[in-house]
């Protein structure tokens, strides 16, 4: 299943802390059961980062989120591509 995570900098995160977070991110290994599809960093505080993940385990999502709790707030929600959604909707409407 695919998920989007919107990461926002917590109030009080300064340039030094942001540099630390970026260094940790460069070395980060995602939990088993989770893989990164894409990640975008912005010049904004909210969201500062947009990540797209695939995960088959909610615990992996939780572990990944908690690892950044010192500097980032995260909002994670499930998503589907347009093609996946259209396929499921077509099957649903056909009574499958």
Say how far apart CA 35 and CA 14 lie, in whole Å: 29
Q: Convert the pLDDT of each residue in 20-39 to its tens digit.
A: 999 999 999 999 999 999 99
Integer CA distances (angstroms), 63 to 9, 38, 56, 78, 83, in order = 18, 18, 13, 17, 29
**Total domains present in the chain:** 1
Question: For the purposes of burial, counting CB atoms within 10 Å of the CB of 4, is it exposed (0-12), middle (13-18) or buried (19 or more)?
Answer: middle
Say how far apart CA 89 and CA 96 lie, in whole Å: 10
- For residue 83, give its domain range: 2-93
CATH of the domain at 38: 3.30.70
Q: Convert the pLDDT of each residue in 46-87 to its tens digit.
A: 999 999 999 998 999 999 999 999 999 999 999 999 999 999
pTM for the complete prediction? Answer: 0.87
Say how far apart CA 33 and CA 54 lie, in whole Å: 8
Q: Retrieve residue 63's tokens.
A: 């572990």
């Amino acid at each position: 299943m695919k998920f989007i995570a919107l990461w926002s900098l917590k109030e009080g995160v300064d340039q030094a802390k942001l540099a630390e977070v970026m260094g940790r991110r460069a070395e980060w290994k995602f939990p088993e059961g989770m893989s990164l599809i894409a990640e975008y960093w912005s010049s904004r505080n909210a969201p500062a980062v947009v990540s797209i993940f695939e995960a088959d385990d909610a615990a992996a999502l939780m572990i990944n989120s908690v690892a950044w709790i010192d500097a980032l707030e995260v909002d994670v929600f499930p998503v589907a591509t347009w093609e996946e959604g259209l396929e499921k909707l077509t099957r649903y409407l056909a009574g499958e």
